[in-house]
Amino acid sequence: MSIKINEDLASRTRISSKGSDRVKEQLDSVFESYRGDKNELIPVLQDVQEELGYLPDEAMQEVSRFVRVPEAKVFGVATFYARFHLKPRGEHIIRLCCGTACHVRGASRVADKVKDLLKVGVGETTEDLKYTYEEVACIGACGLAPVMTIDSKTFGKLDPDKTKKIIQNFGEEAEGGQA
């Protein structure tokens, strides 16, 4: 496994000092369940991510101290596994299937529409932290191709116009639900 600290990424994931105090409190509550052993690195990272939503570099420094594993190794592990996220994630996750059936039925036009509407690329999160956009392999609903999910909801037989309406309606419903 190659271990490489991405300085640019680290600087983009720093959190404010006010946020830092809160993060420390959240980390303390995670650490309470562990002994602080190097073999606990991955489960600790998982729990920290569950608590914070992602792994800011400050959190990884604290994890490094707690499990007594060098920071470079902690960053290396966090960047090696796809399940770990080093950048904030959106409140809602949009996943567009780019498997064969969806591709053949126009997933790339749907992808262009989503990226254009949200002004994001693959794997990116909107500035307001509402949506993260991901492209995935077959999600097992080929009969509905092209297919995307928003959180746990599945939307099928998509075209660019239908996709636009779904995302706009979803945003309105989400805002209505929070009122």
Reduce the DSSP state of residue 150 to 3 states and report it.
strand
Rounded least distance, CB 159 to ligand FES, Å = 15
- CA distances to 51, 78, 121, 126, 155 from 170, in Å: 25, 32, 20, 15, 11
Q: How far apart are CA 40 and CA 55, in angstroms?
A: 16
Residues shown for the chain: 179
Among residues 52 and 102, whose Cβ is nearest to ligand FES?
102
Reduce the DSSP state of residue 41 to 3 states and report it.
helix
Among residues 30 and 141, whose Cβ is nearest to ligand FES?
141
Among residues 6 and 100, whose Cβ is nearest to ligand FES?
100
Rounded least distance, CB 136 to ligand FES, Å = 9
Among residues 19 and 140, whose Cβ is nearest to ligand FES?
140
- Tokens 């999910």, residue? 149
Rounded least distance, CB 95 to ligand FES, Å = 10
Q: How far apart are CA 152 and CA 166, in angstroms?
A: 14
Q: How far apart are CA 55 and CA 140, in angstroms?
A: 30
Which residues are near ligand FES by CB under 6 A? 97, 99-102, 138-142, 145, 147
Rounded least distance, CB 107 to ligand FES, Å = 7
Among residues 43 and 140, whose Cβ is nearest to ligand FES?
140
- CB-CB contact of 27 with 56 (8 Å): no
- CB-CB contact of 65 with 38 (8 Å): no
Rounded least distance, CB 152 to ligand FES, Å = 16
User: Which residue's C-beta sits nearest to ligand FES?
Assistant: 99
